[in-house]
Amino acid sequence: MRLHGGIHSGYTQKVRIALAEKGLAEHVPFVLVTPDERRGPAHRARHPLGLVPVLELDDGSFLPE
């Protein structure tokens, strides 16, 4: 699993806090997505609207927001 998000996103921070409270923060790497990257095709493949956070699961599927 990997968490894709922005450092200034309140929604991303909520997910990171929840992971830390569950003791999973060190097991779920954080992938920084810059505002420019959010508009690009690679991130749009993860979330069609270009929003963060997006959780990438081990099977390659994505859970947006």
Q: From the CB of residue 12, how many other CB atoms can be counted at a distance below 10 Å?
A: 21
What average pLDDT does this structure show over 2-8?
96
* CATH code at position 15: 3.40.30.10
Query: What is the number of domains present in the chain?
Result: 1
Q: pTM value?
A: 0.90
- pLDDT by residue (tens digit) across 6-54? 999 999 999 999 999 999 999 999 999 999 999 999 999 999 999 999 9
Helix ranges (DSSP H) in 1-65: 10-21, 35-38, 41-46
**Dihedral sign, Cα of residue 32, residue 12, residue 46, residue 24:** positive
Q: Which domain holds residue 6?
A: 2-64
